[in-house]
Amino acid sequence: MRVLVIGSGGREHALCRSLSLDPQVSELHCAPGNAGIAAVATVHPVDATNPADVAGLAQRLHADLVVVGPEAPLVAGVADAVRDVGIPAFGPSQQAAMIEGSKAFAKEIMSAAGVPTARAYTCTTQDEARAALTEFGAPYVVKDDGLAAGKGVVVTDDLDEALAHAEACERVVIEEFLDGPEVSLFALCDGTTAVALQPAQDFKRALDGDRGPNTGGMGAYTPLPWIRDNLSDQVMNEVVHPTINELARRGTPYTGVLYVGLALTAKGPKVIEFNARFGDPETEVVLDRLETPLAGLLLSCATGELGTPKLTYRSGSAVVVIVAAENYPADPVKGDAITGLEPTEHAYVLHAGTAVEDGQIVSNGGRVLAVVGTGPDQASARTNAYELVGKVKMRGSHHRTDIAR
């Protein structure tokens, strides 16, 4: 099978790593990729958000499957363009990807499908925003309606800060605060049916102790020893199946991965957000543990033939720690040299935002590296990840020290 992966982050490196280990994959390509991905796949300089360019590349490569990683290409219609030239694509259509592209649309689908989530108002004026904030009270939750790379959400006790964020965005969703631990669940969907992957937890704040600004994610781990056994089944029944049924009913069936961000509240699991793609960095740990070969699984989703696969996982735990560039998430510094990337026995480095300059690997994004450690239990996986983090050298870099503790 010839597979083309679209994207250039740690998630795409994780996808490429798993696909490169799958004996069914005869050729692996990635566009645009990064310095680390280039070691496991042939990389192509393509604008990932240009549907015609991606479809053209897929045709030239005679790809049997295109896997679209990030949200921006999906929302731009890249998966549609690939399917239009007759090539199976793993990733929702432009319309179905609006489940991530517009928080207001996601709320509308959840309401129509009876999915448990925070009560919310969509607001376009300061008066509406003030009324909604007053009704719900603190802590205030204000979300930019559109795509914001994990940085569009403000959760604060400060009414002025909440109002300022609402003012800065054209349209916001203001919702009730959900109290409880967060869990990320990926459901692989083929348009009509779905299967859950092992849940993970990510750490979204920039600083230790869940302080500092929201980021795309600073680390993650799986499995979650503290959740109930039947949590995935409950979320499939209460969230995933109703959601994909509603999208199919509207004529926009969902193909790809539905990322369900949940808060486990006292009243049961409730949806915090949907994403139209694999979560990053949760993917790095979930795919590390997934034993079932990935290519056939993703292809069966892309062709509407998922069925009811029985997935298997490696025992033990995986922990990923993100090494970020100086000044991430505000305005990350790029171009810093990176060394110390060699794997150890139980840890390895995935590239999240890197490039090669004059033969030297340099930073090229906010989240630069995703360091994965594995072990028989969470504590050992964590130790192995941090041991390798300690060996990586990059001027100005920072990471959280409390991932999976």
Question: Which residues in this chain contact ligand AMP in the complex, by CB under 6 A?
Answer: 118, 141, 143, 150, 153, 155, 175, 177-178, 182, 204, 214, 261, 272-273
Instruction: Determine phi and psi for 269, rounding to 5 degrees.
Output: -70, 135
Does position 280 bind ligand GLY by CB under 6 A? yes
Does position 217 bind ligand GLY by CB under 6 A? yes
Nearer to ligand GLY, 109 or 185 (CB): 185
**Closest separation in Å from C-beta 226 to ligand AMP:** 17
Nearer to ligand GLY, 41 or 320 (CB): 320
- Torsion of Cα atoms, 43 then 82 then 289 then 405, to 10°: 80
Neighbours of 167 (CB within 10 A): 12
Indicate the burial class of 226 (C-beta count within 10 angstroms; 0-12, 13-18, 19 or more). Answer: exposed
Q: Read off the amino acid at residue 102.
A: S
Does position 202 bind ligand GLY by CB under 6 A? yes
Nearer to ligand GLY, 12 or 280 (CB): 280
Residue 101 near which of ligand AMP, ligand GLY, none (CB within 5-8 Å, type-dependent): none
Q: Give CA 179 to chain center in angstroms.
A: 22
Nearer to ligand AMP, 267 or 393 (CB): 267
Contacting range for ligand GLY; rule: CB under 6 A; set: 40-48, 106-114, 272-280, 358-366: 272-280
Cα distances from 159 to residues 86, 145, 164, in angstroms, run 51, 19, 9
Q: Three-state SS for 286?
A: helix
Structure tokens at 63: 């790809």
Neighbours of 252 (CB within 10 A): 18
Does position 12 bind ligand GLY by CB under 6 A? no
Nearer to ligand GLY, 57 or 371 (CB): 371
Residue 71 near which of ligand AMP, ligand GLY, none (CB within 5-8 Å, type-dependent): none
What are the helix and strand counts (H, E) for the chain? 13, 24
Residue 279 near which of ligand AMP, ligand GLY, none (CB within 5-8 Å, type-dependent): ligand GLY
> Which residues lie near ligand GLY (CB under 6 A)?
150, 202, 216-217, 275, 279-280, 282
